């Protein structure tokens, strides 16, 4: 099978972690008889330096012409003084909107080899951490009107029933493939947009009688994620709440460097990226953890390319790497062997097996 992948290396540690993911994909192609063509795309700070724009139209077109997009990370202190509309992060928002990827799916799963790395108590971790946050990605306060008039700033949070319904369906369909439990998270005791969210979710629930729907206020959810994460299977929520909760969820698993994500819309052309930032303080030092990016590539194979065997092979290789006692600095413990970014990628490839 031949697939075209747009590759956004980005800023900071982005180029390093993406390079390892591409090497893993090349090994998968070799083992399973596929061909992956890569097209480099400039986005973020590097695009600002090159074009004066975080995502030029020509670069977005490359993404739209691909079968899927693999992204490292964008941004950094270097571009802090760039005007708001031209910040590196605006390129990412523009990319999501341009691709029409309205559903961001972030798994929070603790690998058994990293149980001791979780900041939670042992008895909480032993109950299990394995849930997924389905976050609405191209609506809400991030995409509402933003303005400052004198000493007053305003950001508009707006959702339509159609926007809520389409992400709600993703939540229900995802729950159907897991343990059939869906928790809808909002702030309906305060926000009109959340009251509409709750109304639409309960209307949808009538179409999914096999899925158990529960409601939870976002502040309570933030507490429950650290108190009893085992209660969750699939969480569906709006853009800003999902952004915050998924970062919280990633940290209880031991390291933000381990967590992949997928962003999908109405087609199979998706955007895949680790959930961490560009970490400019360690860029170029060969110490970053590339596993989040490598697992993002595995998600791309599974959800966009219909290659479940290949995706599982990557996940098995990561597990074997961890079993062998190797760790990058972010998840290092005394009894383990510390390796750098490139060595991590090479060792995972060593454990990658075909069928």
Q: Is 142 a catalytic residue?
A: yes
141: pLDDT strictly greater than 90 = yes
Same domain, 218 and 297: no
Q: Is 187 a catalytic residue?
A: yes
Q: Which helix (H) or strand (E) holds 302?
A: helix 291-303
Supply the pLDDT for residue 86. Answer: 86
Q: Is 199 a member of any domain?
A: yes
CB within 8 A of 252, min separation 6: which ones? 108, 110, 118, 119, 120, 129, 225, 226, 229
Task: Report whether 135 contacts 106 (CB < 8 A).
Answer: yes
Average pLDDT over residues 98-116: 92
pLDDT band at 83 (very low <50, low <70, confident <90, very high): confident
Percentage of residues of the chain with pLDDT beyond 70: 100
Q: Which helix (H) or strand (E) holds 39?
A: strand 35-40
84: pLDDT strictly greater than 90 = no
User: What is the number of structural domains in the chain?
Assistant: 2
Average pLDDT value over all residues in the chain: 95
Q: Is 140 a member of any domain?
A: yes
Q: Which helix (H) or strand (E) holds 297?
A: helix 291-303
Give the CA radius of gyration of the chain: 20
Phi, psi of 29 (to 5 degrees): -60, -40
Q: Is 263 a member of any domain?
A: no
Residue 75 DSSP class: -
Q: Is 261 a member of any domain?
A: no
Percentage of residues of the chain with pLDDT beyond 90: 85
161: pLDDT strictly greater than 90 = yes
Give the 3-state secondary structure of 12-59: CCHHHHHHHHHHHHHHHHHHHCCEEEEEECCCCHHHHHHHCCCCCHHH
pLDDT band at 326 (very low <50, low <70, confident <90, very high): very high
Question: Strands 181-186, 2-10: parallel, antiparallel or unpaired by DSSP?
Answer: unpaired
- CATH number where 35 lies: 3.40.718.10
Supply the pLDDT for residue 181. Answer: 98
Residue 176 DSSP class: H
- Token pair in block for residue 244: 């915050």
Question: Strands 2-10, 68-73: parallel, antiparallel or unpaired by DSSP?
Answer: parallel
Return the residue matching tokens 């910040």.
Answer: 87
Same domain, 66 and 100: yes
Q: How far apart, in whole angstroms, are the C-alpha atoms of residue 4 and residue 37?
A: 5
355: pLDDT strictly greater than 80 = no
Look at residue 105 and give its three-state secondary structure: strand
Q: Is 36 a member of any domain?
A: yes
Q: How far apart, in whole angstroms, are the C-alpha atoms of residue 59 and residue 92?
A: 12
Supply the pLDDT for residue 76. Answer: 93
Phi, psi of 7 (to 5 degrees): -115, 115
Same domain, 129 and 248: yes
Supply the pLDDT for residue 251. Answer: 86
pLDDT band at 334 (very low <50, low <70, confident <90, very high): confident
Q: Is 78 a catalytic residue?
A: no
Q: Is 23 a catalytic residue?
A: no
* Distance set, CA 336 to CA 4, 165, 323, 331, 346 (Å): 38, 47, 10, 9, 17
pTM (2 d.p.): 0.86
Same domain, 186 and 127: yes
Same domain, 134 and 10: no
Q: Is 110 a member of any domain?
A: no
Q: Which domain holds residue 55?
A: 1-104+276-355
Task: Report whether 168 contacts 204 (CB < 8 A).
Answer: yes
- Token pair in block for residue 338: 């510390």
**Could you say which of 215, 237, 252 is where a domain stops?**
252
Same domain, 66 and 168: no
Dihedral of the CA atoms 171, 69, 257, 322 (nearest 10)? 90
Same domain, 247 and 136: yes
Q: Is 81 a catalytic residue?
A: no
Same domain, 221 and 131: yes
**Tens digits of per-residue pLDDT, 165-193?**
999 999 999 999 889 999 999 999 999 99
Same domain, 352 and 297: yes
Give the 3-state secondary structure of 251-280: HHCCCHHHCEEEEECCCCCCEEEECCCCCH
Q: Is 271 a member of any domain?
A: no
Same domain, 123 and 100: no
Supply the pLDDT for residue 256. Answer: 83
Q: Is 171 a member of any domain?
A: yes
Q: Please tell me which residue in 243, 272, 321, 326 is annotated as part of the active site.
A: 243
**Tens digits of per-residue pLDDT, 235-293?**
999 999 999 999 899 889 877 889 999 999 989 999 999 989 999 999 999 999 999 99
Q: Please tell me which residue in 3, 62, 187, 330 is annotated as part of the active site.
A: 187
**Greatest CA separation for the chain:** 64
**Could you say which of 213, 237, 252 is where a domain stops?**
252
Supply the pLDDT for residue 85. Answer: 79
Q: How far apart, in whole angstroms, are the C-alpha atoms of residue 90 and residue 46?
A: 13
Same domain, 4 and 100: yes
**Could you say which of 236, 252, 268 is where a domain stops?**
252
Q: How far apart, in whole angstroms, are the C-alpha atoms of residue 164 and residue 187?
A: 14
Same domain, 248 and 150: yes
In this structure, the number of other CB atoms found within 10 A of the CB of residue 248 comes to 15
């Amino acid at each position: 099978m031949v697939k075209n992948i747009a590759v956004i290396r980005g800023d900071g540690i982005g180029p390093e972690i993406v390079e390892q993911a591409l090497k893993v994909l090349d090994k998968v192609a070799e083992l399973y008889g596929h061909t992956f063509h890569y097209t480099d795309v400039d986005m973020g700070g590097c695009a600002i330096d090159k074009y004066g724009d975080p995502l030029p139209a020509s670069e977005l077109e490359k993404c739209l012409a691909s079968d899927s997009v693999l992204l490292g990370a964008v941004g950094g202190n270097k571009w802090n003084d760039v005007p708001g509309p031209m910040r590196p992060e605006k390129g990412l928002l523009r990319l999501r909107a341009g691709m029409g990827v309205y559903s961001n799916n972030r798994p929070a799963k603790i690998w058994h080899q990293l149980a001791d790395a979780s900041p939670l108590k042992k008895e909480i971790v032993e109950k299990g951490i394995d849930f997924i946050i389905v976050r609405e990605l191209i609506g809400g306060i991030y995409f509402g009107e933003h303005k400052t008039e004198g000493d007053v700033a305003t950001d508009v949070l707006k959702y339509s029933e159609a926007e809520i319904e389409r992400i709600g369906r993703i939540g229900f369909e995802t729950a159907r493939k897991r343990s059939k439990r869906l928790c809808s998270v909002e702030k309906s005791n305060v926000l009109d947009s959340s009251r509409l969210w709750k109304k639409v979710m309960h209307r949808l629930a009538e179409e999914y009688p096999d899925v158990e729907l529960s409601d939870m206020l976002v502040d309570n959810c933030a507490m429950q994620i650290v108190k009893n994460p085992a209660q969750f299977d699939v969480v569906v929520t709006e853009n800003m709440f999902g952004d915050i909760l998924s970062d919280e969820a990633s940290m209880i698993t031991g390291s933000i460097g381990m967590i992949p994500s997928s962003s999908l819309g109405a087609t199979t052309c998706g955007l895949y990226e680790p959930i961490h930032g560009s970490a400019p303080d360690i860029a170029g030092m060969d110490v970053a953890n590339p596993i989040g990016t490598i697992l993002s590539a595995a998600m791309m194979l599974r959800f966009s390319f219909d290659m479940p065997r290949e995706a599982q092979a990557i996940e098995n290789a990561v597990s074997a790497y961890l079993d062998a006692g190797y760790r990058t600095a972010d998840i290092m413990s005394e009894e383990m062997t510390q390796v750098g970014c490139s060595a991590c990628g090479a060792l995972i490839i060593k454990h990658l097996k075909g069928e």
